[in-house]
Amino acid sequence: MASLSALPHPLQYPTARRDDSVVEDYHGVKVADPYRWLEDPDADEVKEFVENQVKLTNSVIQQCETRSKLNEKITKLFDHPRYHAPFRRADKYFYFHNSGLQPQDTLYVQDSLESEAEVLLDPNALSEDGTASLNTLSVSEDAKYLAYGLSLSGSDWVTIKVMRIADKNVEPDTLSWVKFSSISWTHDSKDQSEDILCWRDPENPKYSFGGGVTEDGKYVLLYISEGCDPVNKLYYFDMSELPNGMESFRNKSNLLPFVKLIDNFDAQYHVIANDGTAFTFLTNKDAPKYKLVRVDLREPTVWSEVLQESENDVLESACAVNGNQLIVSYLSDVKYILQVRDLETGLFLHQIPIDIGTVDEISARREDSVVFISFTSFLTPRIIYQCDLRTNIPDMKIFREIVVPGFDRSEFHVEQVFVTSKDGTKIPMFIVAKKDISLDGSHPCLLYGYGGFNISLTPSFSVSRIVLTRHLGAVFCIANIRGGGEYGEDWHKAGSLANKQNCFYDFISAAEYLVSTGYTQPRKLCIEGGSNGGLLVGACINQRPDLFGCALAHVGVMDMLRFHKFTIGHAWTTDYGCSDNEREFHWLIKYSPLHNVRRPWEQQPDKSIQYPSTMLLTADHDDRVVPLHSLKLLATMQYVLCTSLENSPQTNPIIGRIDCKSGHGAGRPTQKMIDEAADRYSFMAKMLDAQWID
């Protein structure tokens, strides 16, 4: 299936010890786990396994001729100034900027949009190798303090510090070992030494808690979730009930007496705005495509509808702006629509004109009449619009436009098609290619997917994918399979729990469409995905190894029987189920990548069928989807397919790329992103026999 003339045949895979005595009983079903020893990242034997795999992968990458050219071109295109939308606090503006190849974006502050900006916080100065990153931040209401969270080597663990903005001095207050938290300021800007414990719940250690202060500073909100489903409880506390502010609770063991407005996990409730006791929420309660509702805290049982659920489009977000207005974004067939509506009534006021693509940031608060809107698409690196709502018709102008030197969007074409899945469901897919390509099946093709956790894959610009399309003649595709949020909560549920197999059927159908319409052919087709998308890739190569020439699986959830036992894995049971439950175990064992590696030549008449060339990518500091998932699958695939037979038909390589000082993906320095892209796509090019085009 791949051009392997330059690679050793067969590859000399490292020997990994199998412990066949490790067998677990799942509800009467005996399941072997011979590589369970790979779950201990600190064991010497595991470190040796990783070192040997790194050597093997490096030896393969060194023989991928396009690696240096890919690295050079991707680096060249990355080297351009990038900006994020500014945001205002008090009399100051803040924004992120990267000059091009800086490892991390730098935070700037300025007194007005026209005044000279100065560096407020440069994460690049915090580590020599650029692996210290800014995870989260919040500026106090008076713009005197910056609270910011630092992550090292891509870890989900964060250390929060506080800086005085005027002199950039860092306060001694530090919060350590924080994970999955935002930062919110009360309006009195007290230091940590004067803080109190607001809430704890030792009876529910797996619950997640998020606290926030309303924009008017009057209420503390407590969001409680038990997993990754878009459902939550919501409690509130009226800070005016403390006659002396927080002082009356200072140094006491009392928790804040929160009022339980929503005390069950039946829907999502997200506060958009409040006028005193009247709160407006974005919710999916009896509205899988979401709607806006309102309740007065004085009459908590009386809810009214502000903006009803759309029949076709998903209400993606709502932002209160300009006093009594809303900017709402809808997702319509995976394309964004922006509207201005009345906050009180929900009535439509204006359409905000945007191109086909993604609104990835709306920067404004209720007091702001000027809104910044960040837009991107497959062929638009980023445009930041400045929208003035003080005029009768919103005044929309370009505030900043990101330009990539050498990129000419007129060379490319984007189309959206709808693929019929196994059960007849129409699956949207974007196809990006050079203009006027011939549909003769000759093109390398990269198909990307995710399909889980209510997450939508919408159009965005990618330097590395543009390089593939321009210089390897590749076709790049995104399949918006079920499990995501592209069509609301029904679409999500149609690809989760007992319905998870729909995700794989959808992705396989997308691949078959690309072959049948002449975009590519199986030996020229590579599939890619990360995290839950890594699971997608792992399951699909097990189920249809004949359909793909290459597979790139990033930080995937591969052991579906034990994922809930590590770090935050227990939260994913809302999407996957859990092997502790007998019924759910039988869902999971059917598609778990680790437990379904088979020798395809033994099960099909065509004895030449083998697994596609596969690269499993993971990182030593990934404390979300821990490396054991990729390591155990890597050892299993190499053994079952490559080393357990004296003359195995599996000639396509099975390798693992294991990065150091990296995590699940967030916070990676620019050079690491470039190096990884060059590695995985040069491997893809070699395996698909894709030729370089200058």
What residues have CB less than 8 Å from 8, skipping those under 6 apart? none
- Which residue, among 684, 268, 282, 636, has the nearest Cα to 447 in the 3D structure? 684
Q: Is 531 a catalytic residue?
A: yes
Count of CB atoms situated within 10 Å of the CB of 29:
12
Residue linked to tokens 């000059």? 99
Name the residue type at position 262. Answer: I
Q: Report residue 312: phi and psi, to 5°.
A: -115, -30
User: Which one from 313, 664, 675, 679 is the annotated catalytic residue?
Assistant: 664
Q: Which of 531, 630, 662, 682 is catalytic?
A: 531
Is 189 a known active-site residue? no
| 29, 166, 530, 555 from 616: Cα distances, Å | 28, 47, 10, 8
Backbone φ and ψ for 99, nearest 5 degrees, come out as -70, -15
Please return the burial class of 222, using the count of CB atoms within 10 Å of its CB with bins 0-12, 13-18 and 19+.
buried
End-to-end CA distance of the chain: 26
Residue 201 annotated to the active site: no
Q: Is 30 helix (H, G, I), strand (E, B) or coil?
A: strand
Alpha-carbon distance of 389 to 396, in angstroms, equals 9
> Please, what sign has the CA dihedral across residues 112, 116, 119, 120?
negative
8 Å CB contact between 425 and 481: no
d(CA 408, CA 693): 16
The answer to whether 524 and 578 are in contact (CB under 8 A) is no
Rg for the chain (alpha carbons), in Å?
A: 26
d(CA 305, CA 300): 14
Residues 6+ apart with CB under 8 A from 4: 651, 652, 653
Which member of 33, 506, 620, 622 is catalytic? 622
Token readout for 177 is 């070992």
Single-letter amino acid code for the residue at 34: P
Residue 264 is classified by DSSP as S
CA distance 420 to 408: 33
Q: Which helix (H) or strand (E) holds 28?
A: none
> What single string gives the DSSP state of each residue in 535-563?
HHHHHHHHH-GGG-SEEEEES----TTTG
Residue-by-residue DSSP string for 85-141: --EEETTEEEEEEE-SS-SS-EEEEESSSSSPPEEEE-GGGS-TTS-EEEEEEEE-T
In angstroms, the CA 391 to CA 369 distance is 10
Strand partners for 461: none
Catalytic residues: 531, 622, 664
